[in-house]
Amino acid sequence: MARVSYATSLMKRGVLISTTEHALSALMGAGIDNAILELDQLELPILDGSAKPFLEAIHRVGIKRQRRQRLYWRISRPVEITDGDKFLGVYPADGYSVAYTIDFPRPIGLQTFDLELTFGFLRDERALRNMGLIRGASEENAIVLSDTGVKNGPLRFPDEFVRHKILDLIGDLALLGHRILGRVVANRAGHAMHTALVSRLLRDHSLWEETQIPSEQPVFEPLEAAEPALSHG
């Protein structure tokens, strides 16, 4: 069960874990389908606000390839979700790609990226903390925006905000439990639309078909021998 607001939270057996999208996105980026994450709190740490610390931790541990070949969900027909001027769609394609457009008030404005960081408006801080979110947030791990500009720059990328939306999207789509083969197009979307797309795909099995990629050969090796680099999990 997933709940969304400014972040994605997962609930099972009465336990609610908040802000899961960055860790899930890191696992997807590292090619990992099978992992156990142990927490001692109800929100994943925000760290520096990106997926990089999670990826670094994955690389330190190493990645074990498994015998079983990965199953993908190949999108077989278009799926589109609209809400006013917000849009999210996924279309049949041979690979997995994302085109994301955002349009926030100044100082962000209009940004588009065809394929990753944390930002938030200073005026939203109190509401987020009242919701029990961003308890570990500070100016060291989040980009803080005032009405006049970036309060604690510099940015890592000029288009950092739309890159971060793609990071969120990849993490939210990980809730499918499978990697997709499809072209995702988003315009002013967010966590609510991301998870609405997940629900739609889980509910309607006619929208996708299971498939494998022949070039992916199942390999097994002991964890201690696995290279701490990106590989298929």
Tell me which residues are annotated as active site.
191
Q: Report the candidate in 14, 78, 72 with the shortest Cα–Cα distance to residue 207.
A: 78
Taking the CB of residue 43, how many other CB atoms lie within 10 A of it?
Answer: 18
Phi, psi of 227 (to 5 degrees): -75, 135
CA dihedral 182, 185, 190, 193 (to 10 degrees): -60
- State both tokens at 172: 């939210």
Taking the CB of residue 19, how many other CB atoms lie within 10 A of it?
Answer: 23
